[in-house]
Structure 1
Amino acid sequence: MDMKNGVVVVLLLVLLSISTNSSSSSASSTDNYQNTPESSSNTQQTFYYKSYIKNSCNTATYPSICYKNLNRYALSIQADPLKLCNTSLSLALKAARSAASTVSKILKTGSNNLTAQAKAVVHDCYGNLKDSVGEMQDSIYEMGNLYDNDDRDKGFHLSNMQTWVSAAITNYNTCSDGFEEMKNVDGDLRDKIRNLVSNLDRMTSNALYFINHLPY
């Protein structure tokens, strides 16, 4: 092979090497792009939304319960105070329905083991819980009117919500007070119902806090 042909061969090998490295670099760059999780932005959003909920709950009446209940709904709540309040109310309503159902079953299946006075206390508590369910339902319905663009009487709707949710809290306190006065109710049963009512009181108090701090 003469010198001229040798030079040509060397140049061809250099060009081939450059082309291969370029393709490899391009493929590597593409792979890196494709391997970047598309959810990275969603992860950042989720962190932001959870931080919003955390900060909002820090000033609520019962912060730990607030964050525990609302944290899982971060993506649906986002950073919207209306959605935050509505979710808090909805969870309190769901808990009230569950508690009312539990106490109703106790009256149906365990009332034979209760004294007449104890049965009356449990029955009154059940009535309080049912009233609270209705008041929470009315509050959620009224929230739909609060941000209706065609309805400018927002203060009226907000006042209704505050009144009904406050009434629900009063019902829970009345229920608890009834068990305080009755010592002849089965201890386990008394503690079970009082724990249910205590949790309801705290959840509803948090919902009321968010109602009181709604922008309108």
Structure 2
Amino acid sequence: MAYTPAILVTFVLLSWLTPPLCSWASGRDDSYVLDACSVTRYQDLCIHSLASYSNIAKKDPSKWARAGVSVTIGETKNTTRYLVALKKRNRLKGRNRMALFDCLEVFQDTLDNLHKSLGVLRKLSDEIFDAQMEDITTWMSTALTDEDTCLDGFGGQNGEQVKLLERKVTRVSYFTSNALALVAKLASDGP
């Protein structure tokens, strides 16, 4: 079977970009992250973004929820920086520019909700666990709704900048969805 150069390059790149799944090769027990991410909607993204937490979180749903929210905060900050830079470049006009302003506002709300969630996750209490989990679930759900609201503002619009923005915001929503699933697992497992 002959390989074309493009197929060979693709195979080499994919093998280079894909982290090893064997615990002996990676130095960690990936069964922990596989188990934790089994409750998420975007499992591959979850596994790749949280694999480095395996040896720390192990089977602790609280640590996995904190890791999920922490990674989501990082992704949200990156996208917020992109939105700010896009605003400064002044490339979007008319409806898209107004949608960008709205998107920046809801992303600030998203960051606030994620930070509140992480703060509570860091100091969970057996006595008020259920109330804490209700608050966190509400904040995380609101963050996900805010991200959808951002995308709604660009509905039906075309252009390279709009499509890139939509991809970045959608990626953040995937991270948020995964973090929310990890929080829901913690809520169902209890303190």
- The bucket for the TM-score relative to the shorter chain is 0.7 to 0.9
Q: Does 1:57 align with 2:33?
A: no
- Partner residue of 2:138? 163
Aligned mates of 1:79, 1:154 — CA distance in 2:
19
- Partner residue of 2:70? 90
Larger gyration radius, structure 1 or structure 2: 1
2:117 maps to which of 136, 139, 158? 139
1:79–1:118 CA distance, 2 compared to 1 (3 A): same
Q: CA RMSD in A?
A: 2.0
Mind listing any 5+ residue stretches in structure 2 that lack a counterpart?
A: 1-22
Aligned mates of 2:82, 2:60 — CA distance in 1:
33
TM-score by length of 1: 0.71
Q: Does 1:179 align with 2:185?
A: no
TM-score by length of 2: 0.80
The number of residue pairs the alignment matches comes to 166
**Identity within the alignment, %:** 22
- The answer as to whether partners of 1:92 and 1:207 remain within 8 angstroms in 2 is yes
Aligned mates of 2:123, 2:134 — CA distance in 1:
12
- Cα deviation code 1:103-150 (max 9, x no counterpart): 0111012x1x3322221011111111111000000000111232x36x
When you count helix as a share of all residues, which structure comes out higher? Answer: 1
Higher relative contact order (CA 8 A, sep 6+): 2
2:51 maps to which of 61, 71, 75? 71
Aligned mates of 1:165, 1:213 — CA distance in 2:
13
Mind listing any 5+ residue stretches in structure 1 that lack a counterpart?
A: 1-41
Letter of the aligned partner of 2:129 in structure 1?
A: K
Aligned mates of 1:55, 1:143 — CA distance in 2:
20
